[in-house]
Amino acid sequence: MFAGYSYLRLDAKSYGFLNNSNLNGVNINVSIPVYHQLSAVLDSSAHFGSDERFYTFLAGAQYTHPLRNGRVFGHALFGKSRNDENIAEPTTEFTFGRIPSSLGLAIAFGGGYDYPLNSRFTLRIIQVDYLHTKTYETTQNNIRASAGIVIHFTRKKKK
Amino acid sequence: MSRFWSVAAQRVFDAVTRRRCAVWLSFPALGIALLTILSSAGCSSRTINSTSANTAFVTVPQSGISEWRIDNSGNFTNVLGSPFQVGNSPISLQLHPSNQFLYVANQADSTISLLKIDSNSGALTEVLPRTSTPAEPSLLLMNKGGTLLFSMNIAGGNVAVFSINASNGALTQVPGSPFTTGANPSGMAITPTADFLYVSNANQSLIYAYSVSSAGALQQVSGSPFPVTTYPLGMAVNPAGTLLFVANSGANTVSVFAIGSTGGLTPAPLSPFTVGTSPVAVAVAPTGDFVYVVNQGSNNLSMFSVATNGVLTAVSGSPFSTGSGPSYVVADPNGTFVYIGNQRSATITVYQFEPISSSNTEITLTGTGNTPSTTLASSSMAVTN
């Protein structure tokens, strides 16, 4: 299981913001070995800004390959994203609420590099994803970067 | 580099093996490290890469205020939350030069809405309560400095003048306001220095001229009202404040007047000039070199170069086709685009300036092919600098 800090460069210009947004948050994913170096992955992230919240819920496949002392991996993930912008809209003539959040498609392609610390912990030095989402009736091309710790719940077999 | 990561990993490993809680402490540390890396790549703040995109606000009487971002190619992107609701029948708007406040005349309510503009999201938030105006406001104007707002009111046959609080945008009607003008005024224009205000009256075929005090009081100038050709509607003043252009809807012409030092009007040589059918609105390019006239009856736009003495010469390609029922024209403050609002087809036609000689003295318009839909008929537009 991976858990760590995550940064999201949100393509807010796609729905009329003057600038794209830089959001900070967390990324958690669970990887279950399926066949040799191929794993099934469940991935979730939450990112926050002053008036913005962006969530992803993804699942897909991940391929891992040894590289030097660590392991490089690549994955393809598919699922949903939820975008919640704090934009006011009138609920009656003299009171204001906020526009509803938007749920839509999410696709992520990316990879990263893990450096093992011991049999239990691995340092995920970097994971970068191109994150394509569809919210508020527009498409966003985002970049997500994460780093943190991978915790292994299965011990390696001793030789 | 691999040595760096090895050392870093070893230190994290040491910390982890010494204390388990260090795992959690390492998360913010990693975050800070990553932020530092991203900062060096120019990603340190929440908002970066400011663009040169303009923002357009359009009154759509049946739905509110539509808002778009406009990129350098003239493409429109709908702003999240648009259209924004205001009062009943928003008919005209004015953007404060600070780009922080938007004022909208609600014709059916006889009120003016003040909306604050979020600098990043573009979202509009109305500040309540609304400001009352005399009956049926139909056109708003603002002086260049953003200190005075003028509301032309049809039913009352007058002009209300409001001072603008620079910090919060609040309106306060100036002493003596509203100021009476001819019954059923049809258009309004102000000089850039806000010394003189002109109000057209279609039924009377007259133009009322007023001097404007620094406090906003209107005083009719000597010789006012001035006669003009049949059924004057939209008007505009050039940036130098020396020429007034008037669309004569009943005569299919545009009149040009020289503005005297006391605000009096003198017809320019050869004025009036022939345009298309039923001209209703006029705009002047930010340089003052060109003038645009919207012809509602012939669904096109006449464009002229302007001589210093006010003589107009049609540019190459003029008139340019528009959508159905064009009713207003706005010249991009950057001088790149011209926007024409089409009431019947509920679209906006976008043209781009195009030099046709290397000296850039000859200009024509090229259609961008971008015709954003307003869904319902729109009535006025403002574009940010």
Beta carbons within 8 Å of A88's beta carbon, 6+ residues apart: A96, A97, A98, A99, B81, B123, B125
- The neighbour count for residue A25, using CB atoms within 10 Å, is 20
pLDDT at B361: 62
**8 A C-beta contact, residue B197 and residue B213:** no
Beta carbons within 8 Å of A131's beta carbon, 6+ residues apart: A8, A56, A81, A106, A107, A108, A110, A140, A141, A142, A143, A144
**8 A C-beta contact, residue B298 and residue B277:** yes
Residue A146: inside a domain, yes or no?
Answer: no
SS3 B16: helix
- Say what the ipTM of the complex is: 0.77
First-to-last CA distance in chain B? 47
Tokens in use for B296? 């509602």
Tokens in use for B67? 């808002």
Peptide bond into A33 cis (omega under 30): no
* Interface mutation target, options A1, A2, A5, chain B, most CBs of B under 10 Å: A5
Q: Is A117–B9 a contact, with Cβ atoms under 8 angstroms apart?
A: yes
pLDDT at B14: 43
Q: Is A147–B31 a contact, with Cβ atoms under 8 angstroms apart?
A: yes
Q: Inter-axis angle of helices B22-40 and B2-18, to 10 degrees? A: 150
Residue A153: inside a domain, yes or no?
Answer: no
pLDDT at B94: 97
Bridge partners, B363 (sequence order):
B355
CB-neighbour burial class of residue B292 (10 A; exposed 0-12, middle 13-18, buried 19+): buried
Q: Is B34–A69 a contact, with Cβ atoms under 8 angstroms apart?
A: no
Chain A: residues touching B (Cβ < 8 Å): 3-5, 7, 9, 12-22, 24, 49-51, 68-69, 85, 87-90, 94, 96, 99, 115, 117-118, 121, 123, 125-126, 136, 138, 145, 147-149
**8 A C-beta contact, residue A85 and residue A47:** no
For residue B49, the surrounding DSSP H or E stretch is none
Nearest residue of A to residue B122, measured between CA atoms:
A17
For residue B23, the surrounding DSSP H or E stretch is helix B22-40
The rounded distance, in Å, linking the Cα atoms of B87 and B358 is 49
Q: Is A123–B9 a contact, with Cβ atoms under 8 angstroms apart?
A: yes
Nearest residue of A to residue B88, measured between CA atoms:
A93
Q: Least CB-CB distance to A5: which of B27, B67, B82? A: B27
**Looking at residue A47, which CATH number applies to its domain?**
2.40.160.20
Residue A142: inside a domain, yes or no?
Answer: no
Q: Is A18–B119 a contact, with Cβ atoms under 8 angstroms apart?
A: yes
Q: pTM here?
A: 0.83
Q: Which residue has the tokens 């009256």?
A: B201
CB-neighbour burial class of residue A93 (10 A; exposed 0-12, middle 13-18, buried 19+): exposed
Nearest residue of B to residue A94, measured between CA atoms:
B128
- The neighbour count for residue A130, using CB atoms within 10 Å, is 12
Q: Is A147–B43 a contact, with Cβ atoms under 8 angstroms apart?
A: no
Backbone angles phi, psi at B376, to 5 degrees: -120, 165
Tokens in use for A15? 């729905």
Residue A69: inside a domain, yes or no?
Answer: yes
Bridge partners, A26 (sequence order):
A5, A46
Give A-chain residues touching B81 at CB under 8 angstroms: 87-89, 99
DSSP per residue, chain A? -EEEEEEEEE-GGGGT-SS-EEEEEEEEEEEEEEETTEEEEEEEEEEE-SSEEEEEEEEEEEEEEEETTEEEEEEEEEEEEEEEE--EEESSSS-EEEPPPEEEEEEEEEEEEEEE-SSSEEEEEEEEEEEEEEETTEEEEEEEEEEEEEE-SSPPPP-
* Interface mutation target, options B3, B77, B119, B121, chain A, most CBs of A under 10 Å: B121
Those residues of chain B that have pLDDT short of 70 are 1-52, 356-361
Q: Is B78–A15 a contact, with Cβ atoms under 8 angstroms apart?
A: yes
Determine the distance in angstroms separating the CA of B49 from the nearest CA of chain A, rounded to an integer.
7
Tokens in use for A46? 């939450």
Q: Which residue has the tokens 């019954």?
A: B183
Q: Which residue has the tokens 């030097």?
A: A68
Beta carbons within 8 Å of B116's beta carbon, 6+ residues apart: B100, B101, B124, B125, B126, B127, B169
Bridge partners, A144 (sequence order):
A8, A129
- Number of domains observed in the structure of chain A: 1
SS3 B174: coil
Residue A44: inside a domain, yes or no?
Answer: yes
- Residue B192 is given by DSSP the state T
SS3 B306: strand
SS3 B288: coil
Residue A30: inside a domain, yes or no?
Answer: yes
Backbone angles phi, psi at A18, to 5 degrees: -70, -35
Which range of residues forms the domain containing residue A117?
2-135
- The neighbour count for residue A68, using CB atoms within 10 Å, is 11
Beta carbons within 8 Å of A75's beta carbon, 6+ residues apart: A41, A60, A61, A62, A63, A108, A109, A110, A111
Where b means 16+ CB within 10 Å and e means fewer, B298-317 reads: bbbbbbbbbeeebebeebee
pLDDT in tens, B236-252: 999 999 999 999 999 99
**8 A C-beta contact, residue B106 and residue B90:** yes
pLDDT at B146: 95
Bridge partners, A128 (sequence order):
A111, A145
Q: Is A22–B128 a contact, with Cβ atoms under 8 angstroms apart?
A: no
Q: How many CA atoms lie within 13 Å of A51's alpha carbon, on the beta-carbon side?
A: 16
Those residues of chain A that have pLDDT short of 70 are 90-96, 155-159
Q: Least CB-CB distance to A17: which of B13, B26, B122? A: B122
The rounded distance, in Å, linking the Cα atoms of B336 and A90 is 35
Peptide bond into B333 cis (omega under 30): no
Residue A143: inside a domain, yes or no?
Answer: no
